[in-house]
Amino acid sequence: MKTLTSLFKSNIREYGMLIALIAIMAFFQYATDGILFKPVNITNLVLQNSYIIVMAMGMLLIIVAGWIDLSVGSVAAFVGAIAAVLMVKLDIHWSLTMLICLVIGALVGVWQGYWVAYIKIPAFIVTLAGMLIFRGLTLLILNGEAVGPFPTEFQRLSTGFIPDFFNNEGFHITTILIGILLSIILIVLDVRARKNQQKYGFEVTPFYFFVLKNAFITAAVMALCYLMASYKGLPNVLIVLFVLITGYAFVTSQTVVGRRIYAMGGNEKAARLSGVNTPRLLFGTFVNMGVLAALAGMIVTARLNTATPKAGVGFELDVIAACFIGGASASGGVGKVIGAVVGAFLIGVMNNGMSILGIGIDWQQAIKGFVLLLAVFFDVYNKNKNV
């Protein structure tokens, strides 16, 4: 049985960032006189950061593989511009437009992945070029003008809410039932994982900690659902996020592909000598990033209800920061999906809280940069201490 101290030390990245997120949320809840946790603000917090979370999952895989992608903001803007032209100017149905945009995102990933994986040009250079190329193409496609508005169905991707099947006014009962169901599923999955660890002789967390952890997660899920049920219910984009987070968490922790990405990031030469097709694997991570950047581009375009030449500026900084703040290692091989999500929410809470307090964008950027530097220092310090 692990002691609480050894448990924290072995999971210091994940628990440290989670504790930091809770502390920052508590601080801004106090500093904003309770505005942070108001139902409408919590909903806005999810909507405002949904596209960052989507791209952070793709960026995490690239960082774990030992590389970086600087082009995601420009790719998101590029795809959003294409979606706008297809729906508004060419009158193509929104569902077909979304499919076309996802394919275009994959092709962008193919383009960049080919140069990195097979021509061996450093990803920093390839994606820096991509950032410039797709920003220029965005300006060209939009002709320097904003294009919109979009069909209501497309807008619902980012601004819609799941319906309440009980038609109750003032409180979204369906959201509460989804929260209860989700809590039960999470507890059952955790119990099964613990039993499997015991079955094969692995160390497990103390039972009291296991109970406390599940009680905390259940309380957090139900509190979030209660707050959202008090407003309009769960946003459609939150359902999309849940599916993506669950899928990517499973792929990274339970599949051969996931383990090979971590092996490649830890030691690319050793992974290749062990039979891993590292070029193809790296190529796949960039294709995946292109698809997620395209999805994020459609989400942010649907939220704004217009495509603009300036869309996506600075997104890559928040996405990369979310991964590093969430525990990913700058040298590759380390990082978890949940950590990237926590990092994205931490940045989102900071942005939201500082905006409510009236802190200017100049100081917001400086503070986020300082937090990012501390996160990477924390990673390097712990790595050097364990050598």
Residue ranges making up the domain that contains 110: 4-160+235-385
Q: What pLDDT score does 6 carry?
A: 61
pLDDT for the residue 64: 93
- 193 domain residue, yes or no: no
Please count the structural domains in the chain.
1
pLDDT at 384: 66
The proportion of the chain whose per-residue pLDDT surpasses 70, expressed as a percent, equals 94
For residue 338 the two structure tokens come to: 């949940």
Give me the CATH number covering residue 152.
1.10.3470
147, β-bridge pairs: 307
Does residue 195 form part of some domain? no
In this prediction, residues 212-236 reach a mean pLDDT of 89
Contact 66, 264 (CB under 8 A): yes
| Cα 313 to Cα 135: distance, rounded to the nearest angstrom | 9
Q: Please tell me whether residue 235 adopts helix, strand or coil conformation.
A: strand
Residue range 102-139, pLDDT digits in tens:
999 999 999 999 999 999 999 999 999 999 999 999 99
pLDDT of residue 295: 96
Is residue 308 in a domain? yes
Nearest to 187 by CA among 162, 163, 213, 161: 213
Per-residue pLDDT at 13 exceeds 70: no
> Looking at residue 161, what DSSP letter applies?
B
Supply the pLDDT for residue 24: 87
pLDDT at 117: 94
| pLDDT tens per residue across span 155-209 | 988 888 998 888 888 889 999 999 999 999 889 888 888 888 788 777 777 788 8
The beta strands (E) that lie in the chain are given as none
The percent of residues in the chain predicted with pLDDT above 90, rounded, is 43
Is this structure's pTM higher than 0.75?
yes
Question: Average pLDDT for residues 254-273, to the nearest whole number?
Answer: 90
| 17-48 pLDDT, tens digit each | 777 888 888 899 999 998 988 988 988 888 88
**Cα four-point dihedral sign 204, 382, 351, 286:** negative
The pLDDT of residue 382: 67
Under the banding of pLDDT at 50, 70 and 90, the label for residue 1 is very low
Q: What is the pLDDT of residue 113?
A: 95
Cα dist. 278→60, 258, 263, 265, 268 in Å?
A: 17, 12, 10, 10, 7
Question: Which one has a higher pLDDT value, 24 or 296?
Answer: 296
Q: Which of 17-21, 181-185, 256-260, 314-318 has the lowest mean pLDDT?
A: 17-21
Greater confidence (386 vs 161) lies with 161
- Return the pLDDT at 387: 53
More confidently predicted of 312 and 1: 312
Name the CA dihedral angle for 206, 323, 157, 298, rounded to a multiple of 10 degrees. Answer: -160
Average pLDDT, the chain: 88
pLDDT tens for each residue of 336-362: 888 898 889 888 898 889 998 888 888
Examine residue 144 and state whether it is found in any structural domain, yes or no. yes
Report yes or no on 328 lying in a domain: yes
Task: Say whether pLDDT at 261 is over 90.
Answer: yes
Please determine, for residue 386, whether its predicted confidence score (pLDDT) is greater than 70: no
123 found inside a domain: yes
Structural domain contains residue 198: no
Higher confidence at residue 330 or residue 28?
A: 28
Inside any domain, residue 255: yes
Spatial CA neighbour of 220 closest among 249, 244, 253, 186 = 186
> Residue 335, by phi and psi: left (phi above 0), alpha (psi -120 to 50) or beta?
left
